[in-house]
Amino acid sequence: MCSTAAVTSGESTYTLELPYRRSVGPVVGAFLTGLRDQQVLGSRTAAGRVIVPPLEYDPDTGDAVDDLVGVGTSGVVTSWAWIDEPLRKHPLDRPFAWVMVQLDGADTSLVHALDAGTADAVGTGMRVRIRWADERRGHISDIACFEPEVDQ
Amino acid sequence: MTDTERPGEDSGPVRFMTQHIALDYVVRVSPLAERFGEQLRSGRIVGQRCSSCGLVYVPMRAFCPMCTVAMGEEDELELADRGIVTSFTVLTPIQYHGQKERDDYALASILLEGADGTVGQQRLTGMPLDQIRMGMRVEAVWAPPEERASAAGERGYGFGNAIEAWRPTGAPDAPTAEFAAHVL
């Protein structure tokens, strides 16, 4: 689909949008269902690693994983990148950080946005917590973003 | 980049995820298309006449592809906002995401009076779809001036949103010989 969104002198902006409806399967489906209930699930492998977001298969052995366990809703930033100019489809409309967050009880990190105000406020090792969306529908955006764990 | 629609799963296990992948892109409009658009915004359709062979091109295209002769402002001429339907098709819109059309509609190629090429993808209005004919004489229905903003954004292929549609003038149809050379 194509539409003319805006025109400045000498330029014309178009948007091409592709709508998908994806089947999420039993493991990611359970993860998304959990988010709707403000709960984060990971998959626990035979070796005891907890993978968040959960995978259907143990990345080390390839074995199927069906042991889903709850993890914390706070965690530690393991990596980050600052975004000065958010794009239209980014989760926040103000400058933010993409962060890898290792939630308490998890052995891997998930990617999400951190509403930190300025880049100076972001660092590897900082503690962050989930800010839940007011309306949740079983989607990764049920996590509106992360926020620093210190009370703002 | 993604966004979502409410999938309507307020309870029970989540089984599907909607995802819209979007590409925003900016197109540089050529100075000529920009100029053509400015004229459209003031309600004028401007073409160019090749100084060598005399063919009239609309929209303007800066050179005659037959003679490979440059055309400039001195070759510009204003055309009437009337023409002949040389070809048309009736479309039934499929209701995919983002579809704005609801009812069947017709698009036509129109040979403007005085032009030597047709302009395609033109909306027809003011007549039952089953009464549209090749050779039918039509005139432009202009958008209100304040709504002609993106006329320059069409990269020189059409009339942007400056002309909403074309309606029958009521004059007798053009004889086939008048437009036969322009029918694909």
B16 pLDDT exceeds 80?
A: yes
- Kindly state whether residue A15 falls inside one of the protein's structural domains: no
Strand, helix or coil for residue A17: strand
Indicate the pLDDT class of residue A141, thresholds 50, 70 and 90. Answer: very high
Residue B150: what pLDDT? 58
Percent of chain A with pLDDT over 90: 82
Tell me which chain B residue has its CA closest to the CA of residue A20: B19
The strand pair at B63-64 and A110-114 is best described as: unpaired
Residue A6: what pLDDT? 45
* Helices within B50-122 (DSSP H only): none
Interface residues from chain A to B (CB-CB < 8 Å): 1, 3-5, 7, 9-24, 29-30, 32-33, 36, 87-90, 137-139, 141
Distance from CA of B177 to the nearest CA of A (A): 37
| H or E stretch covering A32 | helix A25-36
pLDDT digits (tens, 9 = 90+) for B119-153: 999 999 999 999 999 999 999 999 998 888 654 55
- Kindly state whether residue A65 falls inside one of the protein's structural domains: yes
Q: How many CB atoms lie within 10 A of CB B68?
A: 9
What average pLDDT score do residues A130-140 get?
96
CA distance A41 to A54: 7
- Kindly state whether residue A76 falls inside one of the protein's structural domains: yes
A113 pLDDT exceeds 70?
A: yes
A150 pLDDT exceeds 90?
A: no
CA distance A68 to A56: 10
Distance from CA of A119 to the nearest CA of B (A): 22
**What helix, strand, coil percent values describe chain B, rounded to 5?**
15, 35, 45
A3 pLDDT exceeds 90?
A: no
pLDDT digits (tens, 9 = 90+) for B48-101: 999 999 999 998 989 999 999 999 999 999 999 999 999 999 999 999 888 899
- Kindly state whether residue A19 falls inside one of the protein's structural domains: no
- Kindly state whether residue A9 falls inside one of the protein's structural domains: no
For A96-136, list the strands marked E by DSSP.
96-103, 110-114, 127-132
Domain span holding position A89: 25-148
- Kindly state whether residue A62 falls inside one of the protein's structural domains: yes
Indicate the pLDDT class of residue A65, thresholds 50, 70 and 90. Answer: very high
The ipTM is 0.78
What is the pTM (predicted TM-score) of this model? 0.69
Integer angstrom CA distances of residue B101 from A4, B95, B104: 16, 8, 8
- Kindly state whether residue A37 falls inside one of the protein's structural domains: yes
Cβ partners under 8 Å of residue A33, min gap 6: A138, B13, B14
Tally of domains within chain A: 1
pLDDT digits (tens, 9 = 90+) for A11-50: 777 888 888 889 999 999 999 999 999 999 999 999 999 9
Q: Which of A3, A11, A12 to mutate to test the interface with B (most CBs of B within 10 A)?
A: A12
Cβ partners under 8 Å of residue B177, min gap 6: none
| Interchain CB distance below 8 Å, B14 and A33 | yes
Mean pLDDT computed over every residue of chain B: 88
